[in-house]
Amino acid sequence: MLEQPYSYQRRELHEPDWRRFPGWSGVTEQEWASPQWQRAHCVKNIRQLRQVLGDGLGEAFCADLERDQRERATMSMLIPPQMVNTMVPGLAPSSAGFTEALYADPVRRYMIPVFSDRRTDWPSHPEASRDSLHEAEMWAVEGLTHRYPTKVLAEVLPTCPQYCGHCTRMDLVGNPTPVVAKHKFGLARDDRLGAMLDYLQATPGVRDVVVSGGDVANLPWPRLEDFVSKLMEIDSMRDIRLATKALMGLPQYWLSDEVRAGMERLAATARRRDVSIAIHTHVNAAQSLTPAVARAAKAMLDTGIRDVRNQGVLMRGVNDSPAQLLDLSFALLDEARIMPYYFYLCDMIPNSEHWRLTLGEAQQLQHKIMGYLPGFATPRIICDVPYVGKRWVHQVSRYDTVRGISYWTKNYRTGVETSDKLALDREYSYYDPIYRLPAEGQDWWRSQAAQEIPAAVGAAH
Ligand code: SF4
């Protein structure tokens, strides 16, 4: 009998032993389980990374990282111990081959990007930009993006317990880097949240709010509970989704008594008012899903909320094979009761070309993962098209594979097109990474760059 292209195997979750790292060799189970200890011991710079990993970390790696931070990084470094511990899970830094394994590690590749990871020919696509999804342009009030007719995104704060190298909101989220000065909110937090509630109260066509940031795990719990409770008092509100990568990066926070009790109160109110509350998390690699993460997800489901769903980001060298996507999806579903929901193409932010896949590669991946998971848990691979929104990768309307330009249409007006009669007839463009194109396409982009003429992209914005 012939083998299937993918072979399903249930795998037990495993918490790697943090005591293999010299800097954490004396850390107790109790300390590790404390969210305060985790936050206080985040790795924020190369010196701290060296302290934790010890002499096993190669000098060349540190120089590579230092150059990246100086010349390319759009996010500063912030990694909770929980996440550091999932890198190279089976090897102590003193073992031969540790630095090579760290270079190859999927979690390292997006949490600790180094200069040699990036493209030197085209580190950024010519059409890449800060705020590549134009979220700030669509703010109805500061921090509230009204892009789709019935749903909004509330950026309630600009920080997270962990900073990911590929963050789409690199324009706003996190600390400045030598390459990127961050946008700052103008309003004080409580005024901003108040203005969001006022807008939603006055806009009954909106039924669905993604409460995000940043990461809601950085908003003090009483403030988050108050905001979500007030959202539920708005008659039109039916769906509330809380966005937190920290369910994976800092599960200790979601397992704390304060947060569990608070979520129970919110879930009880939601049930009474027929509102669905879900948590949306962001796991990109199966090795990130440890027993602590599974406990946190189940603890949240046990509070009575509707669901915990995963929105990963598809990145080369992290999760760009069918087996990696299926292993991750099965681990989420089988071991943590987390619904595999979306994998996004990495957005067109500066210096992200090495992570990005072509639309054609994403379509192939979608094809290859079909049929193994239950239909309701088969993740959709999504292209978030600027000025359009999320589209399944097979929904493209035209695709020029030589120049790597895909064209998309839409069926609603975003917040910036309320009086634009042509918005629904226009085509909007998205771009493959240039280095993946055939020679003819690469030559075309080089000639465009040489002439300094903006790319000819049809009728797109
Ligand atoms: S957790 Fe989300 S918002 Fe925060 S840095 Fe990562 S991708 Fe960006």
- From first to last of the 461 residues of the chain, give the pLDDT tens digit: 999 999 999 999 999 999 999 999 999 999 999 999 999 999 999 999 999 999 999 999 999 999 999 999 999 999 999 999 999 999 999 999 999 999 999 999 999 999 999 999 999 999 999 999 999 999 999 999 999 999 999 999 999 999 999 999 999 999 999 999 999 999 999 999 999 999 999 999 999 999 999 999 999 999 999 999 999 999 999 999 999 999 999 999 999 999 999 999 999 999 999 999 999 999 999 999 999 999 999 999 999 999 999 999 999 999 999 999 999 999 999 999 999 999 999 999 999 999 999 999 999 999 999 999 999 999 999 999 999 999 999 999 999 999 999 999 999 998 888 888 889 999 999 999 999 999 999 999 999 998 875 544 333 33
What pLDDT was estimated at residue 453? 54
406 Cα: distance to centroid of ligand 1 (angstroms): 26
- C-alpha–C-alpha distance, residues 57 and 51, integer Å: 10
What pLDDT was estimated at residue 408? 98
Probe ligand 1: pick from 173, 175, 283, 314, max atoms within 8 Å of CB? Answer: 173
Of all atoms in ligand 1, which is nearest to the CA of residue 214? 3
Q: Report the nearest-CA residue for atom 6 of ligand 1.
A: 164
- Residue 136 to residues 51, 142, 147, 400, 404: CA-CA distances in angstroms? 39, 8, 10, 30, 27
Q: Report the nearest-CA residue for atom 7 of ligand 1.
A: 167
Q: Give first-to-last CA distance, the chain, whole Å.
A: 53
Bridge partners, residue 326, by sequence:
none
Could you tell me if 154 and 196 are in contact, meaning their C-beta atoms sit under 8 angstroms apart?
Answer: yes
Of all atoms in ligand 1, which is nearest to the CA of residue 213? 3
What pLDDT was estimated at residue 344? 98
**Residues sharing a CB contact under 8 Å with residue 100, sequence separation 6 or more, in sequence order:** none
Could you tell me if 219 and 251 are in contact, meaning their C-beta atoms sit under 8 angstroms apart?
Answer: no
Probe ligand 1: pick from 212, 280, 282, max atoms within 8 Å of CB? Answer: 282
- C-alpha–C-alpha distance, residues 297 and 279, integer Å: 9
Could you tell me if 239 and 275 are in contact, meaning their C-beta atoms sit under 8 angstroms apart?
Answer: yes
DSSP 8-state class, residue 178: S
Please, what is the angle between helix 46-53 and helix 59-71, to 10°? 160
89 Cα: distance to centroid of ligand 1 (angstroms): 23
* Token reading at 161: 């317990």
DSSP symbols for 422-440 = TTTT--EEEE--GGGS-HH
The sign of the CA dihedral 118, 121, 125, 129 is positive
173 Cα: distance to centroid of ligand 1 (angstroms): 7
pTM above 0.85, yes or no: yes
Probe ligand 1: pick from 245, 247, 253, 346, max atoms within 8 Å of CB? Answer: 245
248 Cα: distance to centroid of ligand 1 (angstroms): 12
Closest CA to 252 of 109, 85, 110: 85
User: What three-state secondary structure class fits 338?
Assistant: coil
242 Cα: distance to centroid of ligand 1 (angstroms): 13
**Residues sharing a CB contact under 8 Å with residue 429, sequence separation 6 or more, in sequence order:** 127, 405, 406, 407, 408, 457, 458, 460
Q: Which residues line ligand 1 (CB under 6 A)?
A: 160, 162-164, 167, 169, 173, 213-215, 245, 282
What pLDDT was estimated at residue 457? 38
Count CB atoms within 10 A of the CB of residue 116: 15
163 Cα: distance to centroid of ligand 1 (angstroms): 6
Q: Report the nearest-CA residue for atom 1 of ligand 1.
A: 245
What pLDDT was estimated at residue 415? 83
Bridge pairing between strands 239-243 and 208-212: parallel
Strand order in the sheet with 428-431: 398-400, 405-408, 428-431
254 Cα: distance to centroid of ligand 1 (angstroms): 17
